[in-house]
Chain A
Amino acid sequence: MAIEVRIPTILRTYTGGAKSVEGAGDTLSALLTDLDSKYSGLRGRLVTEQGGLHRFVNIYVNDEDVRFLGSLDAKLNDGDNVTILPAVAGGAFGFAAAAALLGRSTAPVR
């Protein structure tokens, strides 16, 4: 089963410059594991050491943000399109303070 995955500029170093790649899996988690076997290190940029999605990455299945579809447990079907975008965020507030306030991992998305 083939799922098209669109890769943002900042992560194309992992895919040899490819804007879009194909992967397989019946959940987002399985898909990312499959992609990581071909593009080593990619999963680590999207998933924290605690096993959750990095807060400042947006992943969409077709037109839905996966946060509304069960995050890493989001179900995938053959022919689905997955889009990865770096969330755009920032501001004058200190990073550590913002992370603490929002209950987010302080590991930067890099």
Chain B
Amino acid sequence: MLSIDRSIIDAIIAHARRDHPDEACGVVAGPVGSDKPVRHIPMDNAARSMTFYEFDSMEQLRVWREMDDRDEEPVVIYHSHTATEAYPSRTDVSFAGEPGAHYLLVSTREPDSEEIRSYRIVDGVVTEEPVRIVEPTVDPHAVQSYMFGQSPTTVDYECSPGR
């Protein structure tokens, strides 16, 4: 199962809508071994096509190195299908090179609703998995302020410099 925050899904959908009718693609990185997608990285579709996507090789090197430096891995690799359903095509299966990643597909075929599905693709075998979208527990739009030395979950009474 893929668990992913609502804010990241919203950012992916916004990217897919922005690039429609071309296919949009990108990565969500997370700490190695965590299976937790936390950092959304929209990528250029070097193919700029309605039916095909390809990461730009130099951008990919930069992003993959950055993930390496931060002890991250590509937890989610996403792209959009702009005229068909959100199911991996034969092309997607043939080119799936990250066996540990969740392959997320967003279909922007319908103008006001999105289909979001996730797959594992290992050795050419496609397995669909459920997607759990984690809703924010704190209203991100609410105005909040915290006293010095406090955070929503902790209060540092000492404000000691050594910690």
A contact residues vs B (CB 8 Å cutoff):
8-10, 56, 58, 60, 63, 65, 67, 83, 85-96, 98, 108-110
Task: List B70-129 residues whose CB lies under 8 Å from chain A.
Answer: 73, 77, 79, 81-84, 88-100, 123-124
* Known contacts A9-B98, A65-B61, then 18 further A-B pairs from the complex at CB < 8 Å, ordered by chain A residue: A8-B98, A9-B99, A85-B61, A86-B98, A87-B54, A87-B60, A88-B54, A89-B47, A89-B53, A89-B95, A90-B88, A92-B50, A92-B91, A94-B89, A94-B90, A108-B94, A110-B123, A110-B124
A109:B57 contact, CB within 8 angstroms: no
Q: How many interface residues does chain B have, given as a range?
A: 35 or more
CB distance from A6 to the nearest CB of B (A): 8
The answer for the CA separation of A65 and B95 in the assembled complex, in Å, is: 19
The answer for the CA separation of A63 and B50 in the assembled complex, in Å, is: 30
> In chain A, what residue has the closest Cβ to B89?
A92
Q: Which of A56, A85, A91 contacts B64 (CB 8 A)?
A: A85
B58 at the binding interface (Cβ < 8 Å): yes
The answer for the CA separation of A10 and B100 in the assembled complex, in Å, is: 9
CB distance from A68 to the nearest CB of B (A): 10
The answer for the CA separation of A90 and B97 in the assembled complex, in Å, is: 11
Task: List B5-64 residues whose CB lies under 8 Å from chain A.
Answer: 23, 25, 43, 47, 49-55, 57-58, 60-61, 64
In the A-B complex, the 6 residue pairs with the closest CB atoms? A86-B97, A93-B51, A90-B92, A91-B52, A89-B54, A95-B90
> In chain B, what residue has the closest Cβ to A86?
B97
A91:B81 contact, CB within 8 angstroms: yes
B91:A58 contact, CB within 8 angstroms: no
The answer for the CA separation of A93 and B89 in the assembled complex, in Å, is: 7
B95:A87 contact, CB within 8 angstroms: yes
A90:B61 contact, CB within 8 angstroms: no
The answer for the CA separation of A86 and B122 in the assembled complex, in Å, is: 14
B61:A98 contact, CB within 8 angstroms: no
A92:B23 contact, CB within 8 angstroms: yes
CB distance from A44 to the nearest CB of B (A): 16
> In chain A, what residue has the closest Cβ to B84?
A92
B57:A91 contact, CB within 8 angstroms: no
The interface residues of chain B lying within 8 Å CB-to-CB of A86 are: 95, 97-98
B25:A94 contact, CB within 8 angstroms: no
Report if A56-B91 is in contact (Cβ < 8 Å); known contacts: A87-B55, A92-B23, A98-B52: no
CB distance from B86 to the nearest CB of A (A): 10
CB distance from B77 to the nearest CB of A (A): 6
Report if A92-B61 is in contact (Cβ < 8 Å); known contacts: A86-B97, A110-B123: no
